Amino acid sequence: MKLLEGRNAIVTGSAQGIGLAIASVLARHGASVVVSDINAEGARLAAADLKAQGHQAISVPCDVTDEHAVDALVDTCRETFGTVDVMVNNAGITRDATMAKMTLESFRTVVDVHLTGAWLGTRAAGRAMRTQGRGSIVNISSISGKVGNFGQTNYSAAKAGIVGLTKAAARELAKYDVRVNAIQPGLIRTAMTAAMPPEVLARMVADIPLGRIGEPEDIAKAVLFLSSDLSGFITGTVTEVAGGRNM
């Protein structure tokens, strides 16, 4: 059963990692996918790989902090595929440091990419979806936006802000049958976790009630649910995908 047959989706920050997993899962479930990333070549290669697997995909480079680029991203999806049915605001960066050592530039840059980027994506997609009278927007927050992480005041603040953005946008767009939800990933197997000392990673995994690290596809499957009609009466929610850690 393909849950997104005939639908069109945009995934920002999808040249690799969690974003690529999201784009891949949505494509496998029938969506035509716009792979978008500031890394233009990475996005091109990811889209080419999806097409080689028999899926409909294009790549569109985009800096999510540039409002004109984000508007153009949504316009390209609509012009290429006809509608914008799913928008996944996933793009993000880290600039970790304690507050004593963090520069104002590092704080502003992380907040700009995560929070302003998600706002711009939600605004642009919301405009298109209002006209259509339907759509689903999924914003990728983080458990660090719930509990706060040492050395991540910028990242934690941005991810917490995404929750407020999601709930406010859900209220504004509900009358157009446009749903807005957020996901908070926990400890997920990525390049960042792969670079951790094994003993540190083991201690973190030991705190997860389900007893394992999360996989990128765990996040992608939650996005699939929130993008599909299975979640047709769900909006303004925050779903933790963390194996029970920090519940």
Query: pLDDT for 138-164, tens place per residue?
Result: 999 999 999 999 999 999 999 999 999
Q: Is residue 153 part of a domain?
A: yes
Instruction: Give φ, ψ of 33 to 5 degrees.
Output: -120, 135
Q: In b/e form, how buried is each residue of 132-147, taking b as 16+ CB within 10 angstroms?
A: eeebbbbbbbbbbbbe
Residue 237 confidence (pLDDT) above 90: yes
Q: How many domains does the chain have?
A: 1
Tell me the per-residue pLDDT of 84-99, one tens digit each, with 9 for 90 and over: 999 999 999 999 999 9
Q: Is residue 19 part of a domain?
A: yes
- Residue 185 — pLDDT band, cuts 50, 70, 90? very high
Distance CA 247, CA 245 (A): 5
Give the pairing of strands 178-185 and 135-140: parallel
Residue from 64, 116, 155, 227 carrying the catalytic annotation: 155
Q: Is residue 200 part of a domain?
A: no
**Does residue 155 have an active-site annotation?**
yes
- Residue 191 — pLDDT band, cuts 50, 70, 90? confident
Q: Average of pLDDT values for 39-66?
A: 98
Q: Is residue 204 part of a domain?
A: no
SS (H, E, C) 62-108: CCCCCHHHHHHHHHHHHHHHCCCCEEEECCCCCCCECCCCCCHHHHH
Residue 233 confidence (pLDDT) above 90: yes
Q: Is residue 134 part of a domain?
A: yes
Q: Give me the pLDDT at residue 50, please.
A: 98
Q: Give me the pLDDT at residue 195, please.
A: 85
Distance CA 114, CA 44 (A): 22
Full domain range(s) for residue 125: 8-187+216-241
Instruction: Determine how many CB atoms are found less than 10 A away from the CB of residue 229.
Output: 11
Q: Is residue 112 part of a domain?
A: yes
Q: Is residue 202 part of a domain?
A: no
Handedness of CA 117, 120, 123, 125 (dihedral sign): negative
Instruction: Determine how many CB atoms are found less than 10 A away from the CB of residue 232.
Output: 11
Residues 213/201, Cβ–Cβ less than 8 Å: yes
Q: Give me the pLDDT at residue 196, please.
A: 86
Kindly report the average pLDDT of the chain as a whole number: 97
Cβ partners under 8 Å of residue 64, min gap 6: 12, 13, 38, 70, 89, 91, 113, 116, 117, 118, 120, 121
Handedness of CA 121, 124, 128, 133 (dihedral sign): positive
Q: Is residue 42 part of a domain?
A: yes
Residue 162: give its domain's CATH number: 3.40.50.720
Tell me the per-residue pLDDT of 110-132, one tens digit each, with 9 for 90 and over: 999 999 999 999 999 999 999 99
Residues 13/35, Cβ–Cβ less than 8 Å: no
